[in-house]
Structure 1
Amino acid sequence: MREYKILAPTAILGYGFPEKSFVKGIEKNPDLIAVDAGSVDPGPYYLGSGKSFTDRNSVKRDLEYMLVAAKEHNIPVAIGSAGGSGAKTHLDWNIEIIEEIMEENNLDLKVVVIDSQLSKSYLMDKYKEGDITPLFPTPPLTEEDLSQSTNIVGQIGVEPFIEAFKMGADVVLAGRAYDPAVFAALPIMKGYDPGISLHLGKILECASIAASPGSGRDCMLGTLGEDYFILEPMGDTRKCTTDSVAAHSLYEKTNPYKLPGPGGLLDLTDTVYEQLDETRVKVKGSKFVPSEKYTIKLEGAKLVGKRTISIAGVRDPIMIEQISHILEEVKEQVQDNFSGKNYEYHLTFHIYGKNGVMGSLEPVKNPVHELGIVIDVVAQEKVIADTICSFVRSTLLHFGYPNRKATAGNLAFPYSPSDISVGDVYQFSVHHLLENIDPVEIFTIKWLNEYQKGAL
């Protein structure tokens, strides 16, 4: 079995890559260019609102390099989680960019589109049949969660990509996808081992983050053999080591050896990492274990209100020493002041310099000389969020605490206006498994022109 090469230009489409690294990767004659275009890491806003967390100009820049090279060298392209979150609006947004690039560069490419957004009526039927189960620690799904979610997507496995490439696609553009599937589908279709292919995909989806020094905006080349794969960074200043590759294999996993995904799990119990030379690492022994039931992950988000924030700094050591008590007092004064209004709101203080990142899990308890405080108010209506935030800010600004020496304000504001309306707030409402499905039939797979006709 000949070696099969996959070029991963960047960790997320739109994050960029050095032109020199990309050219070097193309000179290696890859059999596939693949890229993951999204993530749930930026939070529920982007899935719920249908907006991309990646910049349009940056996405177009990356795609133009990829599509022009693909046409010139006859290399297929796979793109997963289009538009950042992979809902239909994100998919349409990404299609528009591809069409611009094809027109501006006179590219004739056969594009297949995989839509991963699932209808609420279909999911409601599956819910009533008991085919939707929670992912720990998510609570069981409710009908309210389904009905209030603005977008719900299913995480595509390798099978829809394989179907699209069997249709003869030059480019496959997919909605929300299991990250490794974007890289592993075509090799699996061509007979390469699923475990080795998926493990390679797990690493390539982050491009050169698995190198040393790591970077999400530099190219990585993966080479598949019959029972192994080899990783080689394309950046001149980077190298893969057994430590960097093995460490990245633990990335985003609750279990160091097993990674569940659509249709089964990736088992790294017997995986071996070998340093081939200064920059390349060879990996063997990874296995794919099919599950008894084929399941996919569902992701959905719903609108929960409006957010207003105020950002302030505190430098007084006397106030800093009492800050937890002071903020509790402020919360009580807010409740007292608006007790007759029946306002529904959620008030949070994010205290940077004192457990602002890890909260109660923070192991370091060293005293600090200054704090950054984010007053965070979420309410159903913008006017209520504005009102509560304004009152909290002014109350904290002039709060009198024991041994206070200053008679001016307690807070320093870096911005004017001090209160900032952030807008819509979404939360993840669906984070569950869907079972008893056909992994291909559940998704819409169409040629680009047929997909567009269906949207009219």
Structure 2
Amino acid sequence: MAQGLIDEASRGSHSDELSTDEGTLEPLCHILTPIGMLGYGFDESLIYKALQDLATNETPTALILDSGSTDGGPLKLATGSMTAPRVAYIRDLRKLLALSHEFKVPVIISSAGGDGTNEHVDEVLAIVQEIIEEEPKTNYKFKAVGIYSGVTKVKVLKALAADEVTGCGVSVPALTTQDVEDATVVVAQMGPEPFMDVMGAETYDIIIGGRAYDPSPYIAFCADLATKKFGLPFESLKPTQLGGFAFMGKIMECGALCSIPKSASSKATIYCDGTFDIVPLSPNSYCSPVSVAAHTLYEKTRPDILPGPGGSLHLDASKYEQLADGRSVRVTGAIFKLSRQNRLPYTVKLEAAKIIGYRTLLMGGFRDPILIKGIDSFLERAKAYVKQQHKESPGTWELDWHVYGVDGIMGSLEPGDPSYQPREVFLVGEALASSQELATSVASCARIACVHGPYPGQRGTGGNFAMGVGGKLEVEMGPCAEFCIYHLMPLEIGAEHAQEIRGVDTASTDGGHTPIFSWRRMVMSSCAKTPTYGPLATQIPEAIAMSDFNGVRDVQKAPKLPPCYLNLADPRTLCDVASVVRSKNSGPYEITLDVLFSQKRIYNLMQTSNILTPSAIAKLYKLREDEIIYCGFYDQAMAFKATIPRKRLGKAISGGSFMEADVHGSQQYAGLLGLDLSQEVRRVILGWS
């Protein structure tokens, strides 16, 4: 989250709205998240110091982190690849095992491997076993549990035949039998129940979970402690308790993305009533009420209601308080409404992807201003040449262009002056075909057309195309994937839980059995009889672990605020008055746009102006107004949000599919930056000075 421009006014903007009596709060647990994604790497010394600070505290503590996302596109699900290289998982897991062993805290990981398939749960467990066997002197012994979230196609087809499956969002196309049959594997996002089933039945040191709703392991750890403490079933916990657990998990699963400047590691202290405090572990970052509130907008369709397995998180009454250390924020007011208590079904989101062909890329650049002036017609002629050369080829194929320097990222949504002519253009040609051989043939033919194709006014006849990036003329990309299932399926009562499997078979249950999730236990240990090493001896020398952090974590003042780049002296566009303007995918089928303001009076002015409206967003993104999925202001974060369908050339498209060039959706905000302010808004702002 780009929070660097939120100014001093935002840091205490909500501090007077909350009066929580410190003496009435009873800690339930502490949770540390080293990084928002397993495999991305983290500073273990920060975690070590935080655990050391908590060592004399009897409040339960856990290391919890996520490992999955659809952000990277559909290829993981379609091909069985993992988000990070295997060596990256080994590196991070080695650190986590050392921390868990030293401080006797559990490690809970969800969505193993990135997609959370059964195979990747087993793969991550295998990595854990390898680490233990490679380090016999550690005297490791861990009780490990794997939780599996694979769902059979039989189960999905049965629900589809009963007309029970719906798209997860209005942009998701209706599910077909062919979609299910084409899927390579299907997973369901677990709620907290399978994790709680394990926690209630088994003592554990490590839990490796399959595909899960990102906050699920956080909710489960808190709810398990709360149900045992109060002697209540999960469903009898108060909505404010479950709301606090879920909201904390929603924030923490991203690490310390809600801090200023954004950082990796975070700590939450959760209280019995659902109140929680959050603080980044980096001594150079801090949280503010607005930075934490703003995280409710991040990659979500709307900021006030966040649906998940078994219910929805409601944040319209959430409140945020800056604590005395200047770095922590206390949060209250979140409510989680259980679906079944509101006579609605418990639903889980199904995810799957399919292979739609094979891709080959060609890359290179144009520098001739004469060619660039007529580049659209030149590339159309190149397509025609490829079509003529492949009219007898067996199989199917497609070809299209990413023209970077003109409209390579936003395509037809590019807001710039259409008459603009860049000095140079980088071209990526993307060929999709029914075989890799055919895709490469199409790409090669397209490259030849780019090199030798004629154009009006041509002077340079030696060749048009600067090519050979990385020494390759064509780059074979292998299978091309596309999401084919991103849908909600209702569950019968009890099906949201997990049952223990006692054999080696980790296949998901068949279509007629409940619950749909399963888990198995194992004990992993080294055979060494020598004493354990000292605290992370091979990774964090004691001198570093202690000296670099003495006194730093006790600093009461937050780091110096970054400079503010707002232009209030002569404001003309939205970029001049908004501290953050960003875009992000909200699942594979939606793009969400966030505009954050750092001054209350500017936010109030923008609310009453006619600048950020559904009609303005529709015009900017070439949509009908009724196609906008969500549009509105969110007071807690002093923010505006709009969510739109992901499209290309007017047609719906999913992230990571053929010719989709911004899988994160993080570069779709550019048009908002230049949105003109009205003369009235300008006059008001200028009048303030």
Q: TM-score range by the shorter chain?
A: over 0.9
Give the AA of the match of 2:452. Answer: H
Corresponding residue for residue 156 of structure 1: 190
Corresponding residue for residue 297 of structure 1: 349
Q: 2:490 aligns with which of 431, 435, 438?
A: 435
Corresponding residue for residue 137 of structure 1: 171
Q: 1:364 to 1:4 in 2, by over 3 A?
A: farther
Say whether 1:259 aligns with 2:306.
yes
SS at match of 2:215: helix
Corresponding residue for residue 398 of structure 2: 346
Corresponding residue for residue 533 of structure 2: none
- How far apart are the structure 2 equivalents of 1:158 and 1:320? 55
Q: Which moved more, 1:136-145 or 1:360-369?
A: 360-369
SS at match of 2:330: strand
Say whether 1:374 aligns with 2:446.
no
Corresponding residue for residue 454 of structure 1: none
Match runs of 1:175-214 below 5 Å: 175-191=210-226, 193-214=241-262
Give the AA of the match of 1:212. Answer: I
- How far apart are the structure 1 equivalents of 2:387 and 2:522? 55
Per-residue CA shift, 1:298-336, capped at 9, x if unaligned? 000111111111111112222222222221222222223
Q: 1:124 aligns with which of 120, 142, 157?
A: 157
- Paired residues of 2:395 and 2:435 also in contact (CA < 8 A): no
- Paired residues of 1:178 and 1:262 also in contact (CA < 8 A): yes
- How far apart are the structure 2 equivalents of 1:22 and 1:2? 20
- How far apart are the structure 2 equivalents of 1:229 and 1:364? 45
Corresponding residue for residue 674 of structure 2: none
- How far apart are the structure 1 equivalents of 2:155 and 2:218? 29
Q: CA deviation at 1:124?
A: 1.9
Q: CA deviation at 1:433?
A: 0.7
- Paired residues of 2:245 and 2:270 also in contact (CA < 8 A): yes
Where structure 1 has 5 or more consecutive residues not aligned to the other structure, the ranges are 451-456
TM-score, length-normalised on structure 2?
Answer: 0.63
- How far apart are the structure 2 equivalents of 1:364 and 1:199? 39
Corresponding residue for residue 46 of structure 2: 21
Give the AA of the match of 1:281. Answer: V
Q: Which moved more, 1:411-420 or 1:77-86?
A: 411-420
Q: CA deviation at 1:342?
A: 5.2
RMSD of aligned residue pairs (Cα, Å): 1.8
Q: 2:199 aligns with which of 165, 168, 174?
A: 165
Give the AA of the match of 2:260. Answer: S
SS at match of 2:195: helix
Q: CA deviation at 1:67?
A: 2.1
- Paired residues of 2:28 and 2:222 also in contact (CA < 8 A): no
TM-score, length-normalised on structure 1?
Answer: 0.94
Corresponding residue for residue 69 of structure 1: 99
- How far apart are the structure 1 equivalents of 2:355 and 2:142? 38
SS at match of 1:426: strand
SS at match of 1:354: coil
Q: CA deviation at 1:106?
A: 2.9
- How far apart are the structure 2 equivalents of 1:354 and 1:313? 12
Q: Which moved more, 1:364-373 or 1:237-246?
A: 364-373
Corresponding residue for residue 106 of structure 1: 139
- Paired residues of 2:444 and 2:474 also in contact (CA < 8 A): yes
Per-residue CA shift, 1:352-371, capped at 9, x if unaligned? 12222222223233542221
Per-residue CA shift, 1:225-259, capped at 9, x if unaligned? 22421111111211112232122221111112111
Q: 1:35 aligns with which of 62, 65, 71?
A: 65
Per-residue CA shift, 1:399-440, capped at 9, x if unaligned? 211222211211112232210111111111111111133211
Per-residue CA shift, 1:119-157, capped at 9, x if unaligned? 122222222222222223121111111112111100011
SS at match of 1:448: strand
Q: Which moved more, 1:363-372 or 1:200-209?
A: 363-372
Paired residue total:
448
Q: CA deviation at 1:387?
A: 0.9
- Paired residues of 1:63 and 1:98 also in contact (CA < 8 A): yes
Say whether 1:447 aligns with 2:540.
no
Per-residue CA shift, 1:253-287, capped at 9, x if unaligned? 11121111101111111111222132111111111
- Paired residues of 1:250 and 1:256 also in contact (CA < 8 A): yes
- Paired residues of 1:83 and 1:90 also in contact (CA < 8 A): yes
Q: 2:322 aligns with which of 275, 291, 310?
A: 275
Where structure 2 has 5 or more consecutive residues not aligned to the other structure, the ranges are 1-25, 55-59, 227-236, 498-514, 525-689
Q: Which moved more, 1:371-380 or 1:118-127?
A: 118-127
Q: CA deviation at 1:337?
A: 2.7
SS at match of 2:463: coil
Q: Which has the larger radius of gyration?
A: 2
How much identity, in percent, do the aligned residues show? 35
- Paired residues of 1:24 and 1:234 also in contact (CA < 8 A): no
- How far apart are the structure 1 equivalents of 2:314 and 2:441? 53
Say whether 1:309 aligns with 2:361.
yes
- Paired residues of 1:165 and 1:172 also in contact (CA < 8 A): no
SS at match of 1:392: helix
SS at match of 2:403: strand
Q: CA deviation at 1:449?
A: 6.8
